Chains A and B, each alone.
Chain A
Amino acid sequence: MTDLFDGYEVPTVNGRPAWDEMFERSTVARPAAATLHGALHALSRDDLDARATARDGRFRDQGITFSLSGEERPFPLDLVPRVIDAQEWRVVEAGVIQRVKALEAFLADVYGPRHVLKDGIVPHRLVTSSTHFHRSAAGIVPPNGVRVHVAGIDVVRGGDGRFRVLEDNLRCPSGVSYVIENRRMMVRLFPDLFGLHRVLPVESYPSRLLAALRAAAPTRASEPNVVVLTPGVYNSAYFEHAFLAQQMGVPLVEGRDLVCRDNVVFMRTFGVERRVDVVYRRIDDDYLDPLHFRPDSLVGSPGILNAARAGNVTISNAVGNGVADDKLIATYVPDLIRYYLGEEALLPNVETYRPEDPEKLAFVLDRLDRLVIKPVDGSGGYGITIGPQATDGELATARAALIDNPRGFIVQEVVELSTAPTLVGDRLVPRHLDLRPFAINDGERIWVLPGGLTRVALREGSLIVNSSQGGGSKDTWVLAPGRGDDELTDTPFPFGAVVAAGIQPDPGPVDRDDTAQQQQQQQ
Chain B
Amino acid sequence: MLRRIAESLFWIGRYVERADDTARILDVHVHDVVDTADRDDAGRRMLLDVMGIASEGELDTRRLTELLALDESNPSSIVSSLRSARENARGARESISAEMWESLNATWHALALQVRAVELSGPHALFRFVPERSALFFGLADSTMSRDDAWSFLVLGRSLERVDMTARLLSSRVGQPAVAHDWVTLLTSCSAYEAFLRSVRREVTPGLAVEFLLLDRLFPRSVLHAMLIAESCLADLDRSSAPEGRVHEARRILGQARASLEYEPAERLLADLGEWLQALQAACSAAGGALAEQWFGRVSASPWQREGALAAFAKGSNK
Q: Does A63 contact B (CB under 8 A)?
A: no
Q: How far is the CA of A500 from the CA of B207 in the complex (A)?
A: 22
Q: Report chain B residues within 8 Å CB of A194.
A: 33, 35
Q: Does B159 contact A (CB under 8 A)?
A: no
| Cross-chain contact A502 with B51 (CB below 8 angstroms) | yes
Q: Does B148 contact A (CB under 8 A)?
A: no
Known: A496-B272, A497-B274, A508-B84. A191 touches B7 (CB 8 A): no
Shortest Cβ distance from A481 into chain B, in angstroms? Answer: 13
Q: How far is the CA of A514 from the CA of B122 in the complex (A)?
A: 40
| Cross-chain contact B51 with A505 (CB below 8 angstroms) | yes
What is the chain B residue whose CB lies nearest that of A225? Answer: B201
| Cross-chain contact B164 with A505 (CB below 8 angstroms) | yes
What is the chain A residue whose CB lies nearest that of B50? Answer: A502
Residue of A249, A499, A508 ringed by the most chain B CB atoms within 10 A: A508
Q: Does B196 contact A (CB under 8 A)?
A: yes
Checking A195, A248, A494, A507 against B197 with a beta-carbon cut-off of 8 angstroms, the contacting residue is A248
Q: Does B49 contact A (CB under 8 A)?
A: yes
Q: Does A270 contact B (CB under 8 A)?
A: no
Q: Does A272 contact B (CB under 8 A)?
A: no
How many residues of chain B are within 8 Å of chain A by beta carbon?
70
Interface 0/1 of B180-202, CB less than 8 Å to A: 11001000000000101110110
Interface 0/1 of A206-250, CB less than 8 Å to B: 010011000000000001000000000000000000000011111
Q: How far is the CA of A490 from the CA of B175 in the complex (A)?
A: 12
- Which residues 497-517 of A sit at the B interface, judged by CB distance below 8 A? 497-509, 512-514
| Cross-chain contact B194 with A246 (CB below 8 angstroms) | yes
Q: Does A487 contact B (CB under 8 A)?
A: yes
Shortest Cβ distance from B148 into chain A, in angstroms? Answer: 22
Q: Does A1 contact B (CB under 8 A)?
A: no
Q: Report chain B residues within 8 Å CB of A190.
A: 122
Q: Report chain B residues within 8 Å CB of A183.
A: 33
| Cross-chain contact A191 with B33 (CB below 8 angstroms) | no
- Which residues 166-208 of A sit at the B interface, judged by CB distance below 8 A? 183-184, 187-192, 194-196, 198, 201-204, 207
How many A-B pairs have beta carbons closer than 8 Å: the answer is 161
| Cross-chain contact A493 with B176 (CB below 8 angstroms) | yes
Q: Does A489 contact B (CB under 8 A)?
A: yes
Q: Report chain A residues within 8 Å CB of B50.
A: 501-502
Q: Report chain B residues within 8 Å CB of A188.
A: 31, 122, 124
| Cross-chain contact B60 with A195 (CB below 8 angstroms) | yes
Known: A495-B273, A498-B175. A513 touches B301 (CB 8 A): yes
Checking A191, A249, A492 against B122 with a beta-carbon cut-off of 8 angstroms, the contacting residue is A191
How many residues of chain A are within 8 Å of chain B by beta carbon?
55
| Cross-chain contact A211 with B51 (CB below 8 angstroms) | no
| Cross-chain contact A498 with B274 (CB below 8 angstroms) | yes
Q: How far is the CA of A495 from the CA of B32 in the complex (A)?
A: 23
| Cross-chain contact B175 with A249 (CB below 8 angstroms) | no
Main secondary structure of the interface of B (DSSP, over half): helix
Checking B14, B30, B124, B274 against A54 with a beta-carbon cut-off of 8 angstroms, the contacting residue is B124
| Cross-chain contact A508 with B178 (CB below 8 angstroms) | no
What is the chain B residue whose CB lies nearest that of A249? Answer: B197
Q: Does A292 contact B (CB under 8 A)?
A: no
Checking A187, A203, A508 against B15 with a beta-carbon cut-off of 8 angstroms, the contacting residue is A508
Q: How far is the CA of A249 from the CA of B284 in the complex (A)?
A: 33
| Cross-chain contact A506 with B121 (CB below 8 angstroms) | no
Q: Report chain B residues within 8 Å CB of A201.
A: 33-34, 181
Q: How far is the CA of A500 from the CA of B49 in the complex (A)?
A: 9
| Cross-chain contact A506 with B173 (CB below 8 angstroms) | no
Q: How far is the CA of A249 from the CA of B199 in the complex (A)?
A: 8
Known: A246-B194, A249-B198, A514-B301. A495 touches B33 (CB 8 A): no
Shortest Cβ distance from A509 into chain B, in angstroms? Answer: 6
Q: How far is the CA of A503 from the CA of B270 in the complex (A)?
A: 22
Q: Report chain B residues within 8 Å CB of A191.
A: 30-31, 35, 61, 122, 124
| Extra A-B contacts (16), CB below 8 Å, given A509-B11, A513-B301 | A187-B33, A203-B181, A207-B204, A250-B201, A488-B36, A490-B179, A493-B176, A495-B206, A496-B271, A496-B272, A496-B275, A502-B52, A505-B18, A505-B161, A505-B168, A508-B15
The 3 tightest CB contacts between A and B, nearest first, are: A249-B197, A496-B273, A504-B52
Q: Name 11 interchain pairs, CB-CB below 8 A, sorted by A.
A: A191-B31, A210-B203, A211-B203, A490-B39, A493-B177, A498-B274, A499-B277, A502-B168, A505-B161, A506-B288, A508-B15
